[in-house]
Chain A
C-alpha cells in the first residue's frame, strides 16, 4: 500500500474511534456514579484490544514502533494454608472474587487505561488532521502521525523506566536463584568428588604406612592406588573449574577463550572477534557461557556441522551473532537450551533474538550492555570548522548585534539618530539604513546561534553515531 492509501485508511478509521470513545464515556461514568463496577473491565478490554492493533499498524504503516505501556497483570491469588483466599481484610472461599478485585484495581490504577480513553476522544481530531495532511504529504507526515500515537499509546518515560525496573528486578531474582543453584551444584560436586577422594586417599596412605614394614609389596600397591585416586581428584577439580570460570577466559580474555572453545567444539566453528578492550569479568563470563550454550545447542539439536561466532563491541554493548547451518526451527519457548541462554543474558539486561526458520540456518543475535564505557564516551570531539564557528560566534557576535544593530535601532525609533557616528547604518541614506540595521541584528544573532549550536550538533553526532568529521 502506498503511504497515501495508508493515510486515507487511517483517516477512515477515525469516526469509528470517536464512536468507541463516545460510547465508553457514559459506561465509565456509570462505573463511578452508580457503582456499576462490572462495566470497567469489558470497556478497557475493548480499548486495549483496539489500541494493540493500532500499535501494530503504527509500526507497519507509519514506521513508528510503539511498546505497550500497561502494568503487568496482578499475580493470581494464593491459597492460604487454611484453604481460604485473602484480599485485603476479607477472606473468600474461591479465588474468583479476590482475583476479580485485583484485576479491577490493576485496571483503575494503570495510567495506560486513562491515556487510552483520552486517545479515543482526541485522536479523531488531532490524528484526523495529521492523516488528512498525510494524504497530501505522504510518508513523512505519516511518521508524524505515528509519533502522535506514540505520545498517547506508548509508555511515558516514567512508565518505560518502571517497566525496565520490573524486568531487571525479575532478572536479578532469577540470576540470584541461578547463582545459588550453581553454588549448591559446586558444593555437591566437591563433596561427592574431590573431598571423598581425598578421604579415601588418606585412608589408603594410612594403610600403606601400617603395611610398609611387614609387607612392602602390598604397601606399594596401595601407594599406587592412592596416586591414581589423586589424579582422578585433580581431573574432577579441573572439570569443575572449567564450569565455574574457564581458565583460558581468566588467562586470555573473551576472544581467545572463544577460540579455545571453538577448537574443542565438535562443530567446525569460526570466531571473528573485534574487541579492543577487556570487558568486565561478569560480562565476559556471561557472554562466554551464553555462546557455549548456543554452540552446544546447535550441535545437539540443530544438526549443524559448521557455526560462525561474530563479536562486535558497540559504544556500550557487546553484540554477538551465532549462526549455524543446522536444520533451524529453534524456539526459546520450547528448547530449554535457548531458555538458558536467554536467562543468562537477562541477568545483565541483555537480549536474545532468535531467527530460525524451518530448514535453517539459525541465527542467534545477542546484545549485552557493558557498564564500563568505551574510552572516549563522554568526550565530544569538535572539528576545526566547529571550533572556528564557536570562537568566531562568541568573540564577534556582539559587534553587529549591539553597537551596529540594536542600539541604532533604539536610537532610530526614539528619533535621535544623528548622534551615532560609529554606526555603519547612519552613513547611508534612508532606504538602506533600516535594511542595514536589520541585517546587522540578523548577522549578530546568526553568529551567536552558530556558537551555541555547534557543540549541540557535535554531541548529537556522538550520541547517534553520524558520520565523523
Chain B
C-alpha cells in the first residue's frame, strides 16, 4: 500500500515512516510543507495520505487546506489528518463532501501502533477514522438532543465506537459482544435516531456522523 506522509517535525516524520514500513506500507513521499504535499498527492496518487494539520510555510492549517484541495481535485482520495488538537469545526469540513475515506486523529494515537495502522487501513479502504475525542465532543454538544437521550448506555457505547468508524466485528471485539448482538444494537440505534438502516459499514458511519453534525446547524 502506497503512502504519502506530510509532517514538518523530522523526528515524527522519521518515526512514522519506520512504523509504516514495519507494517508493510510503502512510503512513496515524506514531505514537510503544504505546497510539496499538494504536488506529491497529485503526482503520486497514493492509496492513502497521512497529513499533519499545521505545516510550513504559514504554520496555520496549511496541511488541512492542502488535503481539502487535493480531495477537490481527486475525489475520494483517502486522507488521514493528524493534529495536536482536535476540533469539531475541522471534522465537519473533512466530512462535508460526504464521500468518506477520511480520518482525523490526535497525534497521540500513533502510540498504539496496532490501532493506528488499523485506522490507516480503514481510511485507505474508504472508511472513516474519527478520534474518540472528536466523537466525545460531538456527543457532548448533542447532549440535549432528544433522540440521543433515549439510547441505553450500551447503545451509546456502540454508537461512540461506530462513529469512530469501526466495523461491527471490531465493536464486538472491543465490548466483548457477539457480532449479531452488535448488529441488534445498531439496528436499535438507527431506529431511535430515525435513520435508514444500512449494511454498508462506511455509509452507516457517515449517516451517524451527519446526524450528529446535523442537529446543530
Contacts and interface: CB of A to CB of B under 8 A. Distances in A.
Interface in A221-280: 227, 230-231, 234-235, 238, 241-242, 247-248, 250-252, 256, 259-260, 263-266, 268
A7 B213 CA distance: 62
A316 B107 CA distance: 40
Interface in A362-414: none
Interface stretch (B35-43, B53-61, B74-82, B195-203): B53-61
Contact of A227 (B85, B89, B111, B140): B111
Contact of B88 (A242, A263, A268): A263
Contacts of B61: 251-252
B85 A241 contact: yes
B211 to A, nearest CB: 15
B108 A235 contact: yes
Interface in B112-166: 112, 137, 140-141, 143-144
A268 B216 contact: yes
B87 interface: yes
A260 B87 contact: yes
Nearest to A242: B85
A241 B137 CA distance: 18
Nearest to A231: B108
B111 A247 contact: no
Contacts of B108: 231, 234-235
Interface string B52-73: 0110000111000000000000
Nearest to A258: B89
Nearest to B61: A251
A244 to B, nearest CB: 12
Contacts of B112: 227
A240 to B, nearest CB: 11
A264 B137 contact: yes
B60 A251 contact: yes
A250 to B, nearest CB: 7
B144 to A, nearest CB: 8
B104 to A, nearest CB: 14
Contacts of A268: 216
B54 A251 contact: yes
A219 B216 CA distance: 48
A286 to B, nearest CB: 20
A252 B137 CA distance: 20
Nearest to A234: B108
Contacts of A251: 53-54, 60-61
Most buried by B among A238, A251, A264: A251
Given A263-B216, A264-B137, A266-B143, A248 B89 contact: yes
Given A251-B61, A252-B61, A238 B84 contact: yes
Given A242-B85, A247-B85, A231 B141 contact: no
A169 to B, nearest CB: 36
Contacts of A242: 85
A378 to B, nearest CB: 29
Contacts of A241: 84-85
A40 B132 CA distance: 73
A263 B141 contact: yes
A256 B141 contact: no
Nearest to A253: B60
Nearest to A263: B88
Contact of B89 (A231, A234, A256, A266): A256
Contacts of B59: 250
Contact of A231 (B53, B87, B111): B111
A115 to B, nearest CB: 54
Interface in B199-217: 216
B60 to A, nearest CB: 4
A248 B89 CA distance: 9
Nearest to A239: B85
A238 B88 CA distance: 16
B82 to A, nearest CB: 13
Given A263-B88, A264-B141, A266-B140, 17 more contacts: A227-B111, A234-B108, A235-B108, A238-B84, A238-B85, A241-B84, A247-B84, A251-B53, A251-B54, A251-B61, A252-B61, A256-B89, A260-B88, A263-B141, A264-B88, A264-B137, A264-B140
Interface of A: 227, 230-231, 234-235, 238, 241-242, 247-248, 250-252, 256, 259-260, 263-266, 268, 305
8 contacts: A231-B111, A242-B85, A247-B84, A251-B54, A251-B61, A263-B141, A264-B137, A305-B144
